[in-house]
Amino acid sequence: MSVQEQGRRAKAAAGVLATATRAAKDAALRTMADALVRRTPEILAANEADVEAGRAAGLTPALLDRLALNDYRLEGMASGLHQVAGLPDPVGEVIRGSTLPNGLELRQVRVPLGVLGIVYEARPNVTADAAGLCLKAGNAVLLRGSSSAAHSNAAIVAVLRDALQTAGLPEDAVQLVDASSRETVKQLMRARGLVDVLIPRGGASLIRSVVEESTVPVIETGVGNCHVYVDAAADLDMALEILLNAKTSRPSVCNAAESLLVHRAIAEPFLARALPALRDAGVTVHGDVDVVEAGHRRGVDVFEATDDDFGAEYLSLDLSAAVVGSLDEAVAHIARFGSGHTEAIVTGSLDAAREFTARVDAAAVMVNASTRFTDGEEFGFGAEIGISTQKLHARGPMGLPELTSTKYVVTGTGQVR
Amino acid sequence: MSVQEQGRRAKAAAGVLATATRAAKDAALRTMADALVRRTPEILAANEADVEAGRAAGLTPALLDRLALNDYRLEGMASGLHQVAGLPDPVGEVIRGSTLPNGLELRQVRVPLGVLGIVYEARPNVTADAAGLCLKAGNAVLLRGSSSAAHSNAAIVAVLRDALQTAGLPEDAVQLVDASSRETVKQLMRARGLVDVLIPRGGASLIRSVVEESTVPVIETGVGNCHVYVDAAADLDMALEILLNAKTSRPSVCNAAESLLVHRAIAEPFLARALPALRDAGVTVHGDVDVVEAGHRRGVDVFEATDDDFGAEYLSLDLSAAVVGSLDEAVAHIARFGSGHTEAIVTGSLDAAREFTARVDAAAVMVNASTRFTDGEEFGFGAEIGISTQKLHARGPMGLPELTSTKYVVTGTGQVR
């Protein structure tokens, strides 16, 4: 079926979902969760085919691990759907309301966005997660996953669609877009009037191409070149713990730290501890001249950093590092190299914290906390569909409210102007 | 100066504006307002040059009227700026906040969008209005007006920039983009990284081209194919008054009605009164076969409507009209032909009102009120920069909050994950 035709079906399904009650949507989510568990064998069989093909195609062990499903991961997907069922329904929430001087009653009400397109890579669990969040917010979704997970995604979507039908909601609320060619991504990007919003999740190049080519509105997600700035007034123990956590607890994710900035006033004592600790944690440091010299003094190898290093989202155990002369310099460095995801300051100074949070332009600014906290679950949103690094519509972790739009409902008694 | 260079200067200015206090911004707005009044003669002289050139180029009287400034209109622009100074500052508003289980304090705070690009046609008063709203929300703005208003806009922007400098804010917060070639609009559309959001205001073709070609995020504004649906349970006096007001009070604006839908059950008595009344008000009706026949019976000429008529934003004293068999049919007609701006139902039935407001997908849905109320001032927002007909970020009249983004500020005591 063409993407256009899928879009038309999705739009029709969205019309039904828009007025579905919370009870109906939650029942469908629970039915979907139960079906995933009940039909685990057929999903795992499909997944096995993807994993085999991936192994044959020479996928890295890391990618194979992301691709592989098992009982435990399917239970995780099911419990994710149960969790979404337990979240409040954003649709129908009255955001603002007043009675105008002429007696008109004005209400701004949350409504679904309509049809979402999600383009994502590898992990098949995203298929169920995204379907669940979109459904709860009253949206139909076109899922365009990776070709390497095509069998797994097809099996999961088949199960979810059956469950929707069982629960009395339109199965076209969840559709899988053919992943065998890049052309389908382009078709999604041009489906104005059928797809309301496109959310690319994945590598930087995927996101850039969607952002640049789509005529459908896009929510940009995910690229994180996150900095930890250790201020002159930092508690050095705290700074070291935050730095190590931000860099090493999960280096492959977008909220991991990629760059360290150290105030000159405490650079010597801090780097004296941080460089050996980073080395012991397996981290390769790419430093400016001051950091390279500090490495020399402590017998730790530090590579010379280029501008490319300072601009890199490594997603690995690499870290760029520079000494800055002031908070001003730190802010300027972040403005130049940051990706607007998450920036952290470690400081005991209220002035420095205030200045940094006010002036750094990012989705999230942390004071004395790890960059790793920028996450929908950590923020208490229950779930997230991604982390927006753009300023329009949604910025930071996107939960259910970010998957909605609003509508003004104005009720009168015959008012004219 | 190139648009790129203007963008760089705007970005630098936006960095200063982002932390400017409300007091500083309001003082600048008042200085700008006073300067517009004090320097009226030089602005009117520049405007006279535009009007002369427009007359020589054969602009219609309506366009010449939109272009022409006078003492009264300049005072209106100045009082608009004073009014914006009186509005609350959206920047710094805490939208959501909580203390997370681990003790982290989470705050979602409104921040400026950064640099806005506004592409607009003809009316030079937009220059001051847009500059004022952007400044109040802490944004720098690149104004790309119409070439026909080039002298007027240059004079106004010169006055506003001088006033900004007097008030101690960066003059590059307000810049005029060269309007002598279409190329500058294209440069704005490609200024990713410098321009955060582009807002096209004007005709449908301008808006469509910006929406389709821009790599900078766009907020789509303004095309309004608004319907008035007269339900079976309508009070016919009220319906007639609303229809005439919606169609004729100001036919050239986007919230004017362009189409009438009448429930078959009351079509005969309603059209018997509406068709002569519309004719007497100078309105040309383009009707479906039922409306054409009703016209015959009453001796009122009704043109046969095509799909193009039902899809048209006439912006003139023309009206398409159709008889529908049910509320369902009305909703389906609106889904097919509407532009998602404003749709109105006239009905005494609570069920019909509820059904219509829930199912019609538009920025604003009116019950027993004229479509003409969809307007920032009417909604009590104090001012508006346009009416968004897209679902992302802002929908409906856009006031100051819609010119902002948000940032999460998370404060801890050394938390790691």
Please list, in sequence order, all residues whose beta carbon lies within 8 angstroms of the beta carbon of residue A143, skipping any fewer than 6 positions away: A118, A120, A127, A130, A131, A153, A157, A174, A175, A176, A177
A395 touches chain B (CB under 8 A): yes
**Cβ–Cβ below 8 Å for A392 and B219:** yes
Whether A117 contacts A142, CB under 8 Å? yes
**Cβ–Cβ below 8 Å for A412 and B19:** no
Q: Is it the case that residue B125 has pLDDT exceeding 80?
A: yes
Q: Which residue has the tokens 């949206």?
A: A139
**If residue A53 lies in a helix (H) or strand (E), which one and from where to where?**
helix A40-56
What does R_g of chain A's alpha carbons equal in angstroms? 24
**What are B41's two structure tokens?**
């003669």
Average pLDDT on A136-159 reads 97
**Cβ–Cβ below 8 Å for B380 and A100:** yes
**Cβ–Cβ below 8 Å for B410 and A366:** yes
**Cβ–Cβ below 8 Å for B373 and A212:** no
The distance in angstroms from the start CA to the end CA of chain A is: 49
Domains B3-221+398-411 and B226-373 share a fold: no
pLDDT score recorded for residue B117: 97
B218 touches chain A (CB under 8 A): yes
Nearest Cα neighbor of A52 from A40, A68, A66 is: A68
Provide the shortest C-alpha distance from residue B10 to chain A (in Å): 15
Average pLDDT on A55-67 reads 92
A335 touches chain B (CB under 8 A): yes
pLDDT score recorded for residue B413: 98
CB burial string B251-276: b at 16+ within 10 A, e below: beebbbbbbbbbbeebbeebbeebbe
Residue of B nearest to A363 (CA): B407
**Cβ–Cβ below 8 Å for B368 and A18:** no
**Cβ–Cβ below 8 Å for B405 and A395:** yes
Tell if the pTM clears 0.90, that is, is over it. yes
User: pLDDT per residue over B346-385, tens digit each?
Assistant: 999 999 999 999 999 999 999 999 999 999 999 999 888 9
Share of chain A above pLDDT 90, in %: 92
A217 touches chain B (CB under 8 A): yes
Residue of B nearest to A220 (CA): B217
pLDDT score recorded for residue B280: 98
Reported as a pLDDT band with limits 50, 70 and 90, residue B19 is: very high
Taking residue B119's Cβ as centre, other Cβ atoms within 10 Å add up to 26
B190 touches chain A (CB under 8 A): no
Average pLDDT on A301-319 reads 97
**Cβ–Cβ below 8 Å for B212 and A211:** no
| Mean pLDDT estimate for chain B | 96
Q: Is it the case that residue B168 has pLDDT exceeding 90?
A: yes
CA distances from B302 to B249, B294, B297, B320 (A): 21, 9, 11, 10
Please list, in sequence order, all residues whose beta carbon lies within 8 angstroms of the beta carbon of residue A334, skipping any fewer than 6 positions away: A227, A229, A261, A343, A360, A362
Q: How far apart are CA B127 and CA B106, in angstroms?
A: 38
Map out the domains of chain B as residue ranges.
3-221+398-411, 226-373
Reported as a pLDDT band with limits 50, 70 and 90, residue A203 is: confident
User: pLDDT per residue over B61-116, tens digit each?
Assistant: 988 998 999 999 999 999 999 999 999 999 999 999 999 999 999 999 999 999 99
- What's the one-letter identity of residue A261? L
B391 touches chain A (CB under 8 A): yes
The two beta strands, B140-144 and A387-388, are unpaired
Share of chain B above pLDDT 90, in %: 92
Q: How far apart are CA B104 and CA A372, in angstroms?
A: 13
**What are A192's two structure tokens?**
């104005």
Per CATH, which fold does B3-221+398-411 belong to? Answer: Aldehyde Dehydrogenase; Chain A, domain 1 (3.40.605)
Q: Which of B96, B99, B387, B391 to mutate to test the interface with A (most CBs of A within 10 A)?
A: B391
Q: Is it the case that residue A207 has pLDDT exceeding 90?
A: no
Whether A115 contacts A10, CB under 8 Å? yes
Nearest Cα neighbor of B402 from B413, B390, B410 is: B390
Reported as a pLDDT band with limits 50, 70 and 90, residue B202 is: confident
Average pLDDT on A248-258 reads 95
Taking residue A324's Cβ as centre, other Cβ atoms within 10 Å add up to 22
Q: What CATH number does the domain located at B226-373 have?
A: 3.40.309.10
CB < 8 Å from A in window 245-284 of B: 245-246, 249
Q: DSSP secondary-structure letter at A372?
A: G
Average pLDDT on A291-312 reads 97
Contacts of A245 in chain B (CB under 8 A): 416-417
Q: Which of B389, B409, B413 to mutate to test the interface with A (most CBs of A within 10 A)?
A: B409
Q: Is it the case that residue A239 has pLDDT exceeding 90?
A: yes
User: pLDDT per residue over A217-226, tens digit each?
Assistant: 999 887 899 9
Q: Is it the case that residue B344 has pLDDT exceeding 90?
A: yes
Q: How far apart are CA B41 and CA B239, in angstroms?
A: 47
Q: Is it the case that residue B188 has pLDDT exceeding 80?
A: yes
CA distances from A131 to A30, A172, A388, B33 (A): 13, 11, 18, 52
Q: DSSP assignment of B152-215, as one string? A: HHHHHHHHHHHHHHHTTS-GGGEEEPP-SSTHHHHHHHT-BTTBSEEEEES-HHHHHHHHHH-S
**Cβ–Cβ below 8 Å for B411 and A353:** yes
User: pLDDT per residue over A368-411, tens digit each?
Assistant: 999 999 999 999 998 889 999 999 999 999 999 999 999 999 99
CB < 8 Å from A in window 396-415 of B: 396, 405-415
Reported as a pLDDT band with limits 50, 70 and 90, residue B203 is: confident
When mean pLDDT is compared across A98-102, A205-209, A310-314, B257-261, the lowest value belongs to: A205-209
When mean pLDDT is compared across A43-52, B204-213, B321-330, the lowest value belongs to: B204-213
| Mean pLDDT estimate for chain A | 96
**Which of A98, A245, A372 shows the shortest C-beta gap to B380?**
A98
pLDDT score recorded for residue A24: 98
Provide the shortest C-alpha distance from residue A213 to chain B (in Å): 7
Contacts of B379 in chain A (CB under 8 A): 100, 106, 408
**Cβ–Cβ below 8 Å for B217 and A218:** yes
Nearest Cα neighbor of B141 from B386, B380, B403 is: B403
B362 touches chain A (CB under 8 A): yes
Q: How far apart are CA B279 and CA B302, in angstroms?
A: 9
**If residue B323 lies in a helix (H) or strand (E), which one and from where to where?**
strand B318-324
Q: Is it the case that residue B169 has pLDDT exceeding 90?
A: yes
Nearest Cα neighbor of B373 from B411, B343, B403 is: B343
**If residue B6 lies in a helix (H) or strand (E), which one and from where to where?**
helix B3-17
pLDDT score recorded for residue A221: 85
**Cβ–Cβ below 8 Å for A245 and B380:** no
Nearest Cα neighbor of A124 from A13, A48, A223, A31 is: A48
**Cβ–Cβ below 8 Å for B104 and A218:** no
- Which architecture characterizes domain A3-219+398-411 according to CATH? 3-Layer(aba) Sandwich (3.40)
